[in-house]
Structures are given as structure tokens and as C-alpha cells.
């Protein structure tokens, strides 16, 4: 079946620094990737949708200059949290979909900003 | 914003009992999907039901869909301790650009051994 690898699974960073999270589709071409954010005991909130080779579409209220998304190839998308602050601490999950694959989720990244 | 609403928000049952959770949504959909999430982990796809289907089974899972009421239910029969997780419904809305899923609030299920 389709597999999506998300890395790192956990990261702790200092306030003001930037963190990059990678999402790779291992055995299919992901024409679209989605980035979600999840606070404890809450649901997934879609942050942005990215199509390979084009700019990401951000959901209302999500700062595109703070959450940089790159989808340069059909197997890789990255989310960079720039100038991270403690309130950015959260669980970030990517999802990928392709022509022959439904929605496949990564295992998530726990970001803690100290 | 989240389209789906799930109830109950939390459910505690004994091993062997059935667990039922419901999901309601607001707009027309192509399909509705159910996912499981263990604490601190990613989502695992359980089952997808299309808008023209009314019921679907997969192992111990039974999903129903009532498009007239814009609601779905997930039944887990003969629950096991390993079924302890959060369960989310997600809708694929007809008019959403980019085929993005919209998640419900989730139901936290605790199965006590």
C-alpha cells in the first residue's frame, strides 16, 4: 500500500529558530500534499494544500510567511516553521494523495518550541 | 473550519462490547472516510464510503451513511483493548477545491480490559 514518511517525528527547538519538516511519498507520486496541525485532544486543522510545482494554498488564518511550504517534486513536500515561538508547539501531520493512491498520512511531527 | 461534528466526544466501554460513534456534516460530499489515531501518532485509514453507498463493512467495522441526514456512523463490534484510540470522520466535499478532506472533532474511545 501507499506509504508516506514524515521526518522528524519529534523536534525541540529554541524560540526564534526555524524548523523544517519533511514529508515523502515512498511508493507513489503525490500530486497533492496537505499539511495539518493538531493541538492536544483536538481534531486536525488543515493549514495548506500544495500541488507539485506550484505555490501552496493556505487556509484562512494561516500565515504563509511563517509556515513555508515547498512541494518541489512529486515525492517530497516540506513545511518550514520560521521564527518559531512556543505557541507554534503542536503536532504537525502531512498527507499525500496521488492518482492511484487515496489520502495517506505521515506519522506526524511533535514540535516543541522552548 | 471543521465541517464534521462527532459524538460522543469520548466513549468508555468494556472489552467485548460494541462501540458506536456518529458524525454529522454540512455540505454535499463525494465520500466520507473514517480514520483512527493512536495517541501521538499519525492517522490510519479505516474505511471509505461513497455518497451513493449506504452501508459498508470491513472486518469488525461497520459504517453507515445517510446523505439525507448528512450523517454517518461507525460501529466497532467486539471491541478489544487495542481499539483504544481517537476516531475521526473526514469528508471529501463536492465543491472543495483541491480535494481536501475536512475532519470532524473526533471521538476518543477507551476500551477497558
Cell 446523505 maps to which residue?
A: B67
With CB atoms and an 8 Å threshold, state whether A42 touches B98: no
With CB atoms and an 8 Å threshold, state whether A102 touches B45: yes
When scoring B36, B85, B98 by the number of chain A Cβ atoms within 10 A, the one with the most, hence best to mutate, is B98
Q: How far is A60 from A80, CA to CA, in rounded Å?
A: 18
Q: How far is A23 from A74, CA to CA, in rounded Å?
A: 11
Chain A residues close to B106, C-beta within 8 Å: 42-43
> How would residue A33 be classed by pLDDT, with cut points 50, 70 and 90?
very high
Q: Is A54 exposed, middle or buried (0-12, 13-18, 19+ CB in 10 A)?
A: exposed
When scoring B43, B47, B105 by the number of chain A Cβ atoms within 10 A, the one with the most, hence best to mutate, is B43
Q: What is the mean pLDDT of chain B?
A: 91
What value does the mean pLDDT take over residues B74-95? 93
Give the residue from chain B lying closest to A44, CA to CA: B103
Q: At residue B76, does pLDDT exceed 50?
A: yes
Q: What is the mean pLDDT of chain A?
A: 92
- Does a cis peptide bond (omega within 30 degrees of 0) precede residue A60? no
> How would residue A1 be classed by pLDDT, with cut points 50, 70 and 90?
confident
> What confidence tens digit (pLDDT) does each residue in B15-71 have?
999 999 999 999 899 999 999 999 888 899 999 999 999 999 999 999 999 999 999
C-beta separation of B81 from B67 below 8 A? no
Give the residue from chain A lying closest to B92, CA to CA: A103
Q: At residue B2, does pLDDT exceed 90?
A: no
Amino acid at each position: 500500500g501507499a506509504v508516506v514518511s514524515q521526518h522528524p517525528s519529534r523536534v525541540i527547538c529554541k524560540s526564534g529558530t526555524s524548523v523544517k519538516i519533511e514529508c515523502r511519498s515512498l511508493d507513489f507520486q503525490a500530486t497533492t500534499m496537505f499539511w495539518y496541525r493538531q493541538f492536544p485532544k483536538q481534531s486536525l486543522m488543515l493549514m495548506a494544500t500544495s500541488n507539485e510545482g506550484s505555490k501552496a494554498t493556505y487556509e484562512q488564518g494561516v500565515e504563509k510567511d511563517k509556515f513555508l511550504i515547498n512541494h518541489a517534486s512529486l515525492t517530497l513536500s516540506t513545511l518550514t516553521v520560521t521564527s518559531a515561538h512556543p505557541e507554534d508547539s503542536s503536532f504537525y501531520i502531512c498527507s499525500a494523495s496521488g492518482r492511484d493512491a487515496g489520502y495517506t498520512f505521515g506519522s506526524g511531527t511533535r514540535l516543541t518550541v522552548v | 473550519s471543521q465541517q464534521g461534528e462527532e459524538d460522543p466526544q469520548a466513549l468508555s466501554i468494556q472489552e467485548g462490547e460494541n462501540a458506536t460513534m456518529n458524525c454529522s456534516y454540512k455540505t454535499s460530499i463525494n465520500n466520507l472516510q473514517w480514520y483512527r489515531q493512536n495517541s501521538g501518532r499519525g492517522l490510519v485509514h479505516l474505511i471509505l464510503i461513497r455518497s451513493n453507498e449506504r452501508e459498508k463493512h470491513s472486518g469488525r467495522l461497520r459504517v453507515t451513511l445517510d446523505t439525507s441526514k448528512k450523517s454517518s456512523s461507525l460501529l466497532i463490534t467486539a471491541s478489544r483493548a487495542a481499539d483504544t484510540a481517537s476516531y475521526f470522520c473526514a469528508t471529501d466535499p463536492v465543491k472543495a477545491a483541491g480535494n481536501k478532506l475536512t475532519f470532524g472533532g473526533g471521538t476518543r474511545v477507551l476500551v477497558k480490559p
